[in-house]
Structure 1
Amino acid sequence: MSKEDRRLLIIGIITAVVGGGIVAIVFTDQGAAVFDAICSSLVSLVVFCWDILVKSLIGAYSVPGWVLFPLTIITAYFLLSLLMAVQKKWSRVEPPLFTRYVEDFLFDAKWHWSWREGAVKNLHSFCPSCEGQLIYDDSNCDDIYEDHCDTKLICENCDYKIISTIRGYAEEALARVEREILRRVRVGEYPSNISLPSQ
């Protein structure tokens, strides 16, 4: 059972127990009297607040009512914004494990990428020897209908050594690498000892 499932199960149990307790209290004679007293107190509070609001809008105070009304709305907006920010911080969800998978050795080259909304972004290849970023050369792909078209991954730091060759135009080669990354994530073939990416 995952951590999220356990959390939802505990919340469900607590809700059921509290709800059962409230129902048990309300449906007894004493509980009904307490429930009526609470409801009447809440109604009195709402009426009291409404009276204050109406009197402040039409009453003769040093601050006119038309000034208090926008101030009330602005204050309510900022309080709601603060409440939502606090709730968002407390309910931060841990990202999926595969988002830590940001580098691998594919097609004889080292690849680095990032994740955004479950998609591979900023995919780049690097030389396994010197860590230099590789150049993509698909100059042999002159004709769009040519059967044999390859993209060479070349390291300019290692005297323009061809590190790898991937079938297709440069865009197709990058798409092929991206599909391989997604396949490995889908079937769980990415390394199990994933560490947080270095910042």
Structure 2
Amino acid sequence: MAIDALVKPLLALPLFQGLTPLQLTEIVRRAERIIYRPGDAIIAEDDPSDAAIVIVSGTSVRINDHRDVPQKSRGETLPEGVMIAELAMFIELVHTTTVIAQSQVKALRLTRQKMHELMEEDTELARHFSSCITTRLKLLAHDMKAVDTILERATVAPQLPQVRPNLPIEAHPG
């Protein structure tokens, strides 16, 4: 597959927007090109990960199986161009879901080792990723504060109106 066809999926992903064509080409050049057959696990829940995976072509489905077959969900179809386990190319993590190839899936594996090497060589690339992740964390913190505010309002006991005690009605002489 031509390098341009492999760079194209990265262009649509927010994490890679703003990178130069040379930076994108170098990321793709260092990525592992992999083909999954229908039924292959692209990632498996509870397995450690050392790479992000970009689906270049083909269809896959994300399922949450929690090792409980009767509860297995039908899953969420993932479109071409999606990135799976994005942060795994930067830090250690364990997968929380399983993704299965439904058709032949062509993908790029962006390994942590290769990405770290590339960021050491190109500090501007490291700054770019750091800035993107920091921005996301700030947005997440803002959203969490909004949720906290909603929860605080919901847990504060509502003020009941003052109720006057029942006073006996004075009998009126008839």
> Common fold, TM-score beyond 0.5?
no
Q: Larger relative contact order (C-alpha < 8 A, sep ≥ 6)?
A: 2
Write 1 or 2 for the structure with the bigger share of helix.
Answer: 1
| Structure of greater Rg | 1
